[in-house]
Structure 1
Amino acid sequence: MLLLKGTNKYYPPDFDPAKHGSLNGYHKTHALRERARKLSQGILIIRFEMPYNIWCDGCKNHIGMGVRYNAEKKKVGNYYTTPIYRFRMKCHLCVNYIEMQTDPQNCDYVIVSGAQRKEERWDMEENEQILTTEHSEKEKLETDAMFKLDHGGKDKEKLKRALPSLSEIQDLQAGWKDDFQLNSSLRKKFRTEKKVLAEQEEKDNAVRARTNLSIPLLPEREEDKRLATLLTYATPDSFDGKQQSKRQAISSRSWFSSSSSTAGGAAQSLLHRLGQQGKEAAVVKALGPSHGAFIRKRTTTTTDVTMASTMDEPSHGCRGGTGEEKQNGHLNIMDRNRTSLVADYSESDSDGAQ
């Protein structure tokens, strides 16, 4: 009688352990199911974890260390007796495939295609650290006595060159032996800085509340202080001061006309004459040709007497006029000819008399 261990599995009546071996053999399936679908090609699908940071060549995106993929694992060679495996996986951001393989010689992974490594490796030689001895050098040290003696002499020279640095490192380490004192001084420094930061935060909150701001404030700089001293937002004079300055300007202004006012008066007189001529033409046009014979121009001479300061200003001739300017002490006497339109009824009276 066949006794089977109870593992909550169904064993069919025709199951024979000697013939089938296991339930997988009975069902002719692999224990890994879909992961072993390419096992006939020597490929096994496993969960692969990215060993370092890389850049995908397809989408140019960064893939961080530790990201996991379903990768196809395949044996591609040996390093002595250690097998070399290659892993092929699809990028989760694009359709590009990434291939990597193990490097047993350097205990690392090498990118075959599809990506570029983000260089973050620590170079021991560049950072002046002690390098591990190569395998070939170890064999030579064990078999060649002369090489071992020469290598020992080089090591002693390295030690002499490194002694000053080692002594300095030891002195620095000796200063850090009192852990309690270091911890006390560090905590005291933190308390002082925390107090200063709290005071500054209180001042910033007061400024923000006064100016109704909700943005963080930057610390003051010496350049900002100098610039603030040069700027002012208050009016330099009060309202009374402005009124007083206006009164002083008015009281200090000259009472007499200047050359500029004379030039302005001449320009105004010219505009006035042009306007009169335009009015005459308009009146003649309005009366028509029948009444134009009764309209004539009358010229009268008037004398303008103005007071001017002859000591300070030179005499000016009448611009645009026909009068003559005369100076008599402080009086400027100017004769002007004025033209006006007058109705002439002489001819009409004679015609009516006839």
Structure 2
Amino acid sequence: MGERKGTNKYYPPDYDPKYGGLNKFLGTHALRERARKIDKGIIIIRFEMPYNIWCEGCKNHIGMGVRYNAEKTKVGMYYTTPVYEFKMKCHLCDNHFVIRADPANLDYVIQSGARRQENRWDPTQNGQVVPETKETQKRLFDDQMYKLEHGTQDKNVSESVKPQLVKLFNRNEDAWADCYTANQKLRAQFRKQNCEIKAQKAKDGLLLKKSSLDIPLLEEKEEDKKMAHLLAMKPIRSVEENLEERRKMLLSESSLPTSNFSRKKESNAVKYLKSDRLSLGIVKKIVTEKDNVPKSSTELNTKDCAKRKISDCDTTTENKIIKTSLVGDYGSSDSD
């Protein structure tokens, strides 16, 4: 309504035409509040966002076409075209961002406060029709031979993309031949997605209520599950203690096969290893073959038995050999 005040038809009784106009007579500007910084070279205009941006203050997305009251300032010239700069405040936070016009590239450049959402690509990579440059247009107008060659290239390109166009056309016809069925499938897919979203929201709500939290929950990932599982284990001992225990266990284990080894056999082997040389398998002949005359029981006195380290002396046997087998005793299951 401020713009209409300068264009109304009412003139007060004390109006003097010598002032040159009603605005000059009232001492106001035609733009009213939009020209409050006109002495600094700034005017307030309605600026429409030329593309999608991300605000660096609140990290929110601002879509293309959103309008703001922007401060318009002339900052330079590009040949004979003025270069303007627009400063505006984000409607979601207190951040200000500055956008400058770029007449050379027919675009706008963000100076500060925001960053552009990159949706640009090379149209030639997508098979789009690219307008000709001014140099090409001028050469097409002047050089007839180049125009003929350029036309031949265009025909070759159109012939090469015909199979792809036919496939796209057939696919479109197959997909939308029955509009009701296609719409029904699409709506069924949307209903399924909505049910999954509602179920997930209910699950998140129960978890937040149980934890007494009021924060938005992100989507659960496999890495988060693994990390939570590792944190929930709460190990009592450190890694060094576990390694030391494992080292002791390996040292205490026997190198023999476990199928034919037992604690009883181990104790039996230790007993044999601690015994004297005679019990380790050293053979000694008590009576040789040359001695044809057997010795009586009186001749084998206690001194001879003690000298030969024999606990039991049999006088009826002519040739007596004492043998011990460590391997046989160690491999047997009996202790004696």
TM interval, short-chain normalised = 0.3 to 0.5
- Larger-Rg structure: 1
In the superposition, the TM-score normalised over structure 1's length comes to 0.43
In the superposition, the TM-score normalised over structure 2's length comes to 0.45
